[in-house]
């Protein structure tokens, strides 16, 4: 069972347009509202694949009520808060370009933060295989909130996968004890203070953050695939070119794919890239279903110029 924590969930509204022209009237081709937040996306992807999962998240106000409805049958623990659950907007153009308008979200009180951590500890006591902590932190949260989650996870012997950015990522990475860090290239660049431009430079940057006492890094590289780095090996993989409909949540689907099943790092990385590739071909924050990830579709291993590639470096 995989437990997820999303301290700052959202209702994600996606608007599909032909072209986004600032200052002009833009016709919307399609709209959709979906439950959002990085950990929620991970849990949704796992649920679609039949993997046992449970999501922890704070909810409040009308936005929280809408989010709860949109979560459907996703197993969850909701922590009531006084503030209003945020709503985010993504505008997706016909060429796949996505513009995200993310609200800051509610301010959590110290008591609400403690309630969230108690919910995490209660669920950790049930022995999940992983806990995934991901996304931005709501106002009022200390930058070391994920460090506290890592300490709770370590106390119960549960590995932690972390996907966040900025000060919360720096605090957790420097504290060590994260089993799997999942930055994208921009987040990794911010973390190490430079912009890697080659696979070798990305590997060096990842090894730098692993030296703080973390276990492994899964670095998502957008259309260039993903890189897995641990103490023993470095693996890089990419999937086929697909028509991009929305990039929102693709990294979350990749993380879900990596964690979904047991396997070697190579098998996990292959699945991560397959799920992430499938996600960008779907609208909004739609997560891939098993039928979206197929050997003759998203992942191809045949032909003189295979669309799938995985290298040991």
pLDDT digits (tens, 9 = 90+) for 238-273: 877 787 787 777 899 999 999 998 999 999 999 999
CA dihedral 65, 70, 75, 78 (to 10 degrees): -20
Instruction: Compute the average pLDDT of residues 155-176.
Output: 97
Residues of the chain with pLDDT > 70, as a percent, come to 94
Write the DSSP symbol of residue 306: -
Contacts of 18 (CB under 8 A, 6+ apart): 27, 29, 93, 94
pLDDT of residue 296: 38
**Tens digits of residue pLDDT in 78-119:** 999 999 999 999 998 988 888 999 998 999 999 999 999 999
CA dist 197 and 220 (Å) reads 13
**Residue (of 152, 221, 231) closest to 188 by Cα position:** 221
Higher pLDDT: 223 or 21? It is 21
Q: Encoding tokens for residue 218? A: 């899964």
Helices (H), the chain: 38-48, 61-71, 110-124, 145-155, 166-175, 185-192, 199-210, 250-260, 265-280
pLDDT of residue 280: 84
Distance CA 26, CA 32 (A): 17
Q: Is 103 exposed, middle or buried (0-12, 13-18, 19+ CB in 10 A)?
A: middle
pLDDT at 295 over 50: no
pLDDT of 294 > 80? The answer is: no
Element (H, E) at 58: strand 53-59
User: Poorest-confidence range of 17-26, 32-41, 236-245?
Assistant: 236-245
pLDDT tens per residue, range 187-200 = 999 999 999 999 89
The residues annotated as belonging to the active site are 252
Quick one: pLDDT at residue 181? 98
Mean pLDDT calculated for residue range 280-288? 81
Q: What are the pLDDT digits (tens) for 41-90?
A: 999 999 999 999 999 999 999 999 999 999 999 999 999 999 999 999 99
Contact call for residues 160 and 133 (beta carbons, < 8 A): yes
Where does the pLDDT of residue 312 fall: very low under 50, low under 70, confident under 90, or very high at 90 and above? low
The pLDDT of residue 223? 83
Residue that is written with structure tokens 């993903």 in the block: 226
Separation CA 54–CA 77 (nearest Å): 7
**C-alpha neighbours within 13 Å on the C-beta side of residue 145:** 30
- Residue 24, token pair as written in the block: 């002009």
DSSP symbol at 234: E
pTM of the model: 0.89
Q: Would you state the pLDDT for residue 37? A: 93
Confidence of residue 310 (pLDDT cuts 50, 70, 90): low
């Amino acid at each position: 069972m995989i437990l997820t924590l999303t301290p700052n969930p959202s209702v994600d509204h996606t608007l599909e347009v032909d072209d986004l022209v600032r200052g002009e009237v833009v016709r919307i081709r399609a709209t959709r509202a979906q439950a959002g937040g990085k950990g929620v996306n991970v849990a949704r992807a796992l649920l679609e694949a039949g993997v046992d999962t449970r999501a922890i998240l704070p909810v409040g106000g009308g936005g929280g009520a809408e989010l709860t409805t949109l979560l459907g049958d996703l197993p969850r623990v909701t922590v009531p808060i006084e503030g209003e659950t945020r709503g985010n907007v993504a505008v997706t153009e016909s060429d796949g370009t996505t513009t995200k308008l993310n609200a800051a979200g509610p301010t959590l009180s110290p008591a609400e933060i403690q309630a969230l951590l108690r919910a995490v500890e209660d669920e950790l006591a049930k022995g999940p295989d992983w806990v995934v902590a991901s996304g931005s932190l709501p106002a009022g949260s200390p930058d070391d909130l994920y460090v506290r989650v890592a300490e709770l996870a370590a106390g119960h012997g549960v590995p932690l996968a972390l996907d966040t950015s900025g000060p919360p990522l720096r605090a957790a990475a420097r504290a060590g004890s994260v089993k799997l860090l999942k930055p994208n290239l921009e987040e990794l660049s911010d973390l190490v203070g430079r912009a890697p431009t080659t696979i070798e430079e990305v590997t060096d940057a990842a090894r730098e953050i692993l030296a703080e006492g973390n276990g492994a890094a899964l670095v998502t590289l957008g259309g260039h695939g993903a890189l897995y780095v641990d103490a023993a090996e470095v693996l890089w993989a990419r999937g086929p070119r697909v028509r991009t409909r929305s990039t929102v949540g693709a990294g979350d689907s990749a993380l879900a794919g990596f964690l979904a099943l047991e396997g070697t790092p190579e098998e996990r990385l292959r699945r991560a890239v397959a799920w992430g590739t499938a996600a960008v071909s779907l609208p909004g924050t739609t997560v891939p279903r098993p039928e979206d990830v197929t050997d003759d579709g998203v992942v191809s291993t045949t032909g003189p110029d295979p669309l799938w590639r995985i290298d040991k470096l």
